[in-house]
Amino acid sequence: MGGNAEEESFVPCSISCVGWKFFYAYFFSTPNQNAQDAMEEEMIDLKFLRENPEVVKENIKKKFQDHKLPLVDEVIALDEQARKTQQEADALRASRNTLSKQIGGLMKEGRKAEAEEVKTQVSANAARLAELEEQERELQEKVTKIMMTIPNIIDPSVPIGKDDSCNVEIEKFGEPVVPDFEIPYHTDIMERFDGIDLDAAGKVAGNGFYYLMGDIARIHSAVISYARDFMIDRGFTYCVPPFMIRSNVVTGVMSFDEMDAMMYKIEGEDLYLIGTSEHSMIGKFIDTINDEEKLPYTLTSYSPCFRKEKGAHGIEERGVYRIHQFEKQEMIVVCKPEESKMWYDKLWQNTVDLFRSLDIPVRTLECCSGDLADLKVKSCDVEAWSPRQKKYFEVGSCSNLGDAQARRLKIRVKGKDGKYFAHTLNNTVVAPPRMLIAFLENNLNADGSVNIPKALQPYMGGKEKIVPKH
């Protein structure tokens, strides 16, 4: 999740000048098999980089990652060297077949001396081929390592800005209200219901953990259950995924920087605790060839999430806004490239509609280029209104990753014109710790009771409100 700049800090930013025709012609058309096979496991196609180095460099500049500019020329030089090495190796392999037949013919004719000379040549070629194959491997590893760090090409509509202070408000939904009574901090509200115990959690697990109790815990579970059914009603297939994933899935779904800042590694095993269920959900399709007519795959998943939360924000000493462990309902889509733009708009709208069904005002923000993770083509945040802070704060994030994850994980689609990489998208349905903050603040009454919106009442045993104990 990104930052939480106050509403007045958002300023208009310049828009990427890469033309729509150019962008969609390359990234949203069905690529041929040769282009697909040229390079996998990166965020962008090596063939595209080779043919359009200036576009890639301009994209790096727009993401304010100028330190990566030399990598473009470096990878082009390494790729050229790798292709020359491969050509020489291929020539030796072809020669090996010819010479083998020649040896057989000479031996049949009884020309053993000449056959021995050819064998000597075959041995020399074999030694050289082994040398070249090792060079190929080393060069390919270097190319792949660099390509894994070159950011994906952002959508032309993404505003250009260095950090989240340049994110741009798109639209508001619902009327923000500030009541005429003071709204306490969210943990103070919870404590009135005996609904949270941070002290005990600190003793058991440290900062960034919590015990939720009683009605507050019930609201937490009710929101998750409601969000599950909300997405099922919208045609998504419900799934409970693995809560641990292997390293090849981790590197397939996120950048190295994100991995370092977020993921907990299981000691002595090739397993990581998931930071969000979208990772194991996208990983479900690793190394698959999917029939085009079966797309899109639309899944909604429940999981606990575990995050280091390294970096500038860190863990809150008090509260449940930024924590090491939380639960979340997520949605992901695997679709044809030409449909990803449409699905992106549908996904963020789902989150907006869910929050509005619970009487919580929200707004959407377009994430600027510098606030986009390297794999993302386009992203927007959904922010909920905080009557206490008199501003919005982030409660979810919707992202279109183009074919970046599919390229790394080899998620292919078989269509009438051949195979191509799918596009993947993800969005938060709801993450209750943050949702609880918005829910309690927006439904709090002057007497300390909290209203339960109609949509949630069936999940709360029919209760219309909860009453504090203190």
Asked if 52 and 178 sit in the same domain, the reply is: no
Q: Are residues 191 and 266 part of one domain?
A: yes
19 domain residue, yes or no: no
Mean pLDDT over all residues of the chain? 87
Asked whether the beta carbons of 352 and 364 are under 8 A apart, the reply is yes
User: Does residue 371 sit within a domain?
Assistant: yes
Domain check: are 142 and 171 in the same one? no
For residues 322 and 279, state if they share a domain.
yes
pLDDT at residue number 41: 56
Query: Please, is 355 exposed, middle or buried when counting C-beta atoms within 10 Å of its C-beta (0-12, 13-18, 19+)?
Result: buried
Q: Do 134 and 235 sit in the same domain of this protein?
A: no
- Note whether residue 7 is domain-resident: no
Q: Is residue 12 part of a domain?
A: no
- Residue whose structure tokens are 């797309």: 295
Query: What's the CATH number where 233 sits?
Result: 3.30.930.10
Q: Pick from 119, 147, 175: which residue ends a domain?
A: 147
- How many beta carbons lie within 10 A of that of residue 409, not counting itself? 25
Output the pLDDT for position 101: 65
Span 388-408, pLDDT tens digits:
999 999 999 999 999 999 999
* CATH (domain of 85): 1.10.287.40
- Predicted confidence at residue 20, as pLDDT, reads 33
| Higher pLDDT pick, 315 / 133 | 133
Stated length of the chain = 470
Residues 294-302 have a mean pLDDT of: 97
Q: Which two tokens stand for residue 369?
A: 């280029």
Report how far residue 352's alpha carbon sits from residue 229's, in angstroms, rounded to the nearest whole number: 16
Element holding 142 (H helix, E strand): helix 112-147
Long-range contacts of 64-69 (CB under 8 A, 24+ apart): 64/162, 64/369, 64/370, 65/151, 68/149, 68/150, 68/151
Question: Which tens digit of pLDDT belongs to each residue from 61-84?
Answer: 999 999 999 999 999 999 999 999
Domain that residue 202 falls in: 164-466
Confidence of residue 120 (pLDDT cuts 50, 70, 90): confident
Rounded distance, CA 169 to CA 367, Å? 9
Residue 103 within a domain? yes
Counts for the chain of helices (H) and strands (E), in that order: 15, 18
Q: Name the burial class of residue 199, with classes exposed (0-12), middle (13-18) and buried (19+) by CB atoms within 10 angstroms of its CB.
A: exposed
> What's the domain count of the chain?
2
pLDDT at 313: 62
Q: Which two tokens stand for residue 391?
A: 């501003």
227-244 pLDDT, tens per residue? 999 999 999 999 999 999
Whether the predicted pLDDT of 372 surpasses 50:
yes
**Quick one: 177 and 294 in the same domain?**
yes
